[in-house]
Structure 1
Amino acid sequence: MPMQDARQKLTWISCHFNEMTPHHVYSLLKLRQQIFIIEQECIFPEIDGLDPLCDHIIALNGNDVLAAVRIVGPGIDPDHVEQGDRSAIGRVVASENLRGQGIGRQLMLRAIDHCGQRFPGKAIYLNAQLHLKTFYEGLGFVQFGNAYEEDGIPHICMERPAPAEG
């Protein structure tokens, strides 16, 4: 269900891939290509087959996706055994002209809330670029394991523990 965010003039949608319009899918993939492949100069298989199996949170201006995350359910991604029995937030992306305005925090808070509702009682896994460690720590994520390089960029594994029952 779309929800208008007056401050950013964005409409937020939380949906499964199958619920996106073809224009949304195209715009999402174009944004991720622009940021991950062109801006960050990472040559990798960005279209990896997981999107159709996942939920997505997208921020729209009209039909254009300006920010997004992909939420991978527990056990969905066989290539990331370190995810374990946790949901995962990935492909976190925001248009360059929105950065520095709190869009990343808004996006992540929505993603964390979505994971909590969709996968209650589960921790959340995240592959983070090392320079964003403090940002993710401010959202309750903690590093586990050592830093590693992925596509020429230092990364770390992080987890947001499942909420305590009670």
Structure 2
Amino acid sequence: MTLAFHRAALRDIPAETLYRLLWLRVAVFVVEQEAAYPELDGRDIEPGAELLWAEEDGDVLATLRLLADGEAGPARIGRVATAPPARGRGLAADLMRMAVDRAGERWPGRDIVLDAQEHLAGWYARFGFEISGPGFVEDDIPHVPMRRAASV
């Protein structure tokens, strides 16, 4: 079994890998969490957007998305998902560290933001994120906005 981590713009991802990556996101967010929402929201194809993923023997086990909120806005991490059989292996944590490092390379001096499911706020805090505003409900799931200062 060979575990590898990857990062690429959507247009540079092989079709079968992209299919597996998007399938994982739909399986976790739409099916498992029963959140009927537009998973394909157009942000994956924004200039500068990158998808990061962990792959083992052709199977996408975990993924996340990194992009910027506007030309001068913060970097944004989202769509963090891990396949149920791969949970507990630290793959999403590895991807988060990669995304934080990559955001600092691409957009130095910018904060990084994300919208965390409320029960995962402590997990995101491990990477320097702090709750930055009032909670909100999205698709019947409580969320909190979080921010990691560029100076962290």
What range is the shorter-chain TM-score in?
over 0.9
* Residue 26 (structure 1) aligned with residue 19 (structure 2): yes
**Aligned-pair Cα RMSD in Å:** 1.6
Contact 1:59/1:68 (<8 A) preserved: yes
**Which amino acid is 2:93 matched to?**
R
**TM-score, scaled to structure 2:** 0.93
* Residue of structure 2 equivalent to 1:56: 51
Task: Note the residue ranges of structure 1 that are not aligned, 5 or more in a row.
Answer: 1-7, 77-83
- Confirm or deny: 8 A CA contact 2:54 2:91 kept in the other structure: no
Amino acid paired to 2:105: Q
CA contact (8 A) 1:68 1:107 kept: yes
Q: Which residue of 2 aligns with 1:124?
A: 112
| Cα offset, 1:50, TM superposition | 1.2
In the alignment, the residues of structure 1 paired with residue 4 and residue 92 of structure 2 have an alpha-carbon distance, to the nearest angstrom, of 15
Q: 2:54 & 2:149 partners in 1: Cα distance?
A: 26
Residues 5-84 of structure 1 mapped to structure 2, 5 A cutoff? 9-53=2-46, 54-75=49-70
Aligned length: 150
- Percent of residue pairs bearing the same amino acid type: 37
AA of the residue aligned to 2:126:
G
8 Å contact kept, 1:42–1:151 = yes
Q: Any runs of at least 4 consecutive aligned residues in structure 1 with deviations exceeding 3 A, and if so which? A: none
In structure 1, C-alpha distance between the alignment counterparts of 2:59 and 2:91, rounded to whole Å: 15
- Give the drift of 1:138: 1.3
In 1, distance between residues paired with 2:97 and 2:2?
18
Checking the alignment, whether the CA contact within 8 Å between 2:117 and 2:141 is kept in structure 1 is yes
Tell me the distance in 1 between the aligned counterparts of 2:21 and 2:28.
Answer: 11
How far, CA to CA, are the matches of 1:51 and 1:62 in structure 2? 24
Give 1:64 shift. 2.4
For 1:74 and 1:107, the matched residues in 2 are separated by 20
